[in-house]
Chains A and B, each alone.
Chain A
Amino acid sequence: MIATDSKVLLSLRGVKAFYGNIAALKGVDLDIREGEIAALIGSNGAGKSTLMMTIFGDPRAREGVISFDGRDITSMPTHAIARLGLAQSPEGRRIFPRMTVFENLQIGAAIGDPRYFDASLERVYAIFPRLKERSGQSGGALSGGEQQMLAIARALMNRPRLLMLDEPSLGLAPLVVKQIFEAIADLNRREGLTVFLVEQNAYHALKLADRAYVMVNGLITLSGPGRDLLAMPEIRAAYLEGGR
């Protein structure tokens, strides 16, 4: 477990975001420290995906401040934010279905230093050997689990400092979910990669998380170490029973 006094990598203060006039984020405060796994749980429609996209500037925060590594990124263009070392596996994975696995990974490394491409490729193939087997296959022809692996691998190709994952377990078989979460935990443990995990199925996420946030209706209502939250009866009732 990571010491709680490590440096804050990503911080949100009073972030509000809207779709038209409808508020999706109503003043979110959140800190992610270097080297930790942070989890955000909440029911469908709570605003988790919006939060992730708002960090990337789309939709843009209408109020509040988002800073990464001490730098204000609130009004930066999305691609510039990505270049600072944030990467995401977005909701729905959004891999490029008509491009091969290898080409997907190439796009993932588009902004990286080409000298490190081979090393990055080796690294993600080591994490997800399945992708190496499928490297010539088109992304759309992969199974759901493989597509999720590809989305994560693609995000890793830029050697990010913060990896954000939006519901990586969605629609996957329990065994595949376990595999993916193990890979994430491994990345964190071995390489010290900071991970921000958004999940609706909270069990695995909370078990893994050094720090967890609960989002209800566009607001963070609760936060604390994942295992503490996992033990709380109201959390169990709201997010776990039947959920896992």
Chain B
Amino acid sequence: MSKRCEPPATFAPAPEASPLRDRLRSALIGAAKAAGVALGLAFPLLAYRTETDFSNALVLQERWAAVAAIALAAFVVRLICLLIPGRTKAASSPRRRRAEFAAIVARSRRLISAAGLASLIAFPLVVLVLLGPARSLKWIDSYGIQILIYMTLGWGLNIVVGLAGLLDLGYVAFYAVGAYSYALLSTNFGWSFWASLPIAGLLAALWGVALGFPVLRLRGDYLAIVTLAFGEIIRIVLTNWTDLTNGEAGVSSIPRVSFFGLPFIAGPEGFAAHFGLAYSPIYRVIFLFYLALALALLTNFVTLRLRRMPLGRAWEALREDEIACRSLGINTVAVKLAAFALGALVGGLAGAVFAARQGFVSPSSFTFIESATILAIVVLGGAGSQLGVALAALFIIGGSELLRELDWLQHIVGEGFDPTQYRMLIIGFALIVIMNWKPRGLIANRTPSVFLAEPRLAAPALAEEGRV
């Protein structure tokens, strides 16, 4: 849309270097501006500092070096940002480049998915062969199972947020309902994992509908606030209903999952003895891994199928324009409730797996930060994209587990440095960087309306009337 005239045809085409020089110049200007802003901010904040000298009088200490350092840092960082290809506004045709990138992603998506699935299936065995039973436990359990659980949760929440466009900040509530369902059914009534699993899912789905009804008329921010409150309510109830849930202390000695009736124990009755293997806890963990994988794949499969069915299409349409949906005869109440119920069902199933993995549940596992993490996985993945959500779960959960193991940083930074203290900070920073780099998430095919970054293309007249 630029009004700049094309050079007349008789002119020789501009030399290749010219756009580069242009870009360098605009980058330098941008960096200088950033430095100016930094200077303006640093001057009142940093330039002078009051100190009491030995005679207890206030003196002004000048700190021009600090001001200069800040300005220089701003200049350099901004310059780098502007020079990284694809980031500058001046780049020749960002739209076409984006389209090309999208095409490459689309073509390789199938390949990435297949490779990902294969490596997920092979993961526990490869780790076992490489590291031996004792050392692979951590990798399969803390990394493998946990990532799979969050992947499932991400895909579950994706139904609500990514597909139906309903911003849910209290998703952890359903996870909690599922986990406590299995915990309580097994410890109180001796139900097995397999018998409890569907109940956990159904109860969570029921809560999903219970949440869905009162928030049907709410949209956007209001919906987010109410779901946030709902998540907290469930946690507080779990904390305070001590007769049932044992309060803060939680429910412990939840039975471990069995291999279709064969317990993973050391005795002759156990799984290992039955198959003529030496006893090791690793078999249980591997089994749980494949269980979590099966649940994740089931979630993914159902979601992918639903997307192509009328219900999935209706979710997508609902996300774009609720009023239009209604006047086309779509029962938006039912469609929304279906999204809440299905999302909650998945959360409940994942919760049961979580309880089986931990052997212990307490309200402190279901705080708001869990909802936020799951939402971050969905948003980072590019809400709506199954593959993106999987990659985001791998990145966020795997990454934050890896950050537990940065003890070696102490050798660099100093003895007093505890890297785990900075985990959330680092994760947060990484999120900001990634969202800046790819505002629509890692893999975005369609932008959901909740995270709208540009004005809607249609219905400008309605927007003017404030009806959208």
Complexed CA–CA distance, A87 and B323 (Å): 13
Cβ A58 vs Cβ B458 within 8 A: no
Find B328's partner among A80, A99, A154 (CB 8 Å cutoff). Answer: A154
Complexed CA–CA distance, A96 and B316 (Å): 9
Cβ contacts under 8 Å, A90 to chain B: 323-324, 327
In the complex, whether B269 has a CB less than 8 A from a CB of chain A is no
Q: A92-B462, A96-B317 are in contact. Are A56 and B457 (CB under 8 A)?
A: no
Cβ B327 vs Cβ A56 within 8 A: yes
Among B21-29, B176-184, B329-337, the stretch that binds chain A is B329-337
Cβ contacts under 8 Å, B325 to chain A: 107
Cβ B320 vs Cβ A97 within 8 A: yes
Complex interface residues of chain B between 15 and 38 (CB less than 8 A to chain A) = none
Complexed CA–CA distance, A96 and B332 (Å): 15
Find B313's partner among A56, A80, A107, A155 (CB 8 Å cutoff). Answer: A107
Most chain A CB neighbours (cut-off 10 Å) among B313, B314, B456, B458:
B458
How far is the CB of B353 from the nearest CB of chain A, in Å? Answer: 34
A167's nearest neighbour on chain B, judged by CB, is B461
| Interface bracket on A | 35 or more
Cβ contacts under 8 Å, A171 to chain B: 461
Q: A107-B317, A110-B310 are in contact. Are A92 and B459 (CB under 8 A)?
A: yes
Cβ A79 vs Cβ B324 within 8 A: no
In the complex, whether B100 has a CB less than 8 A from a CB of chain A is no
Find A97's partner among B313, B328, B329, B457 (CB 8 Å cutoff). Answer: B457
| Interface bracket on B | 20 to 34
- Map CB proximity to A onto B325-357 as digits: 1 under 8 Å, 0 otherwise: 111111110000000000000000000000000
Cβ contacts under 8 Å, B460 to chain A: 92
In the complex, whether B446 has a CB less than 8 A from a CB of chain A is yes
- Map CB proximity to B onto A70-104 as digits: 1 under 8 Å, 0 otherwise: 00000001111011000110111111111100010
In the complex, whether A111 has a CB less than 8 A from a CB of chain B is yes
In the complex, whether B303 has a CB less than 8 A from a CB of chain A is no
Q: A98-B447, A110-B314 are in contact. Are A83 and B329 (CB under 8 A)?
A: yes
- Map CB proximity to B onto A23-60 as digits: 1 under 8 Å, 0 otherwise: 00000000000000000000000000000000010100
Complexed CA–CA distance, A171 and B332 (Å): 30
Cβ contacts under 8 Å, B324 to chain A: 90, 94-96
Complexed CA–CA distance, A132 and B325 (Å): 22
Complex interface residues of chain B between 411 and 468 (CB less than 8 A to chain A) = 446-447, 456-462
Complexed CA–CA distance, A220 and B330 (Å): 31
Q: A79-B329, A99-B317, A110-B313 are in contact. Are A94 and B456 (CB under 8 A)?
A: no
In the complex, whether B321 has a CB less than 8 A from a CB of chain A is yes
Cβ A95 vs Cβ B327 within 8 A: no
Cβ contacts under 8 Å, B323 to chain A: 58, 90, 94
Cβ A141 vs Cβ B457 within 8 A: yes
Cβ contacts under 8 Å, A155 to chain B: 328
Offer 21 A-B interface pairs, CB within 8 angstroms, sorted by A.
A56-B326, A58-B326, A78-B327, A79-B332, A90-B324, A91-B461, A92-B461, A94-B458, A96-B317, A96-B458, A97-B320, A97-B457, A97-B459, A98-B320, A98-B446, A99-B317, A107-B314, A108-B328, A110-B330, A140-B457, A154-B328
B residues apposed to A, CB below 8 Å? 310, 313-314, 316-317, 320-321, 323-332, 446-447, 456-462
A residues apposed to B, CB below 8 Å? 56, 58, 77-80, 82-83, 87-88, 90-99, 103, 106-108, 110-111, 139-141, 147, 154-155, 158, 170-171
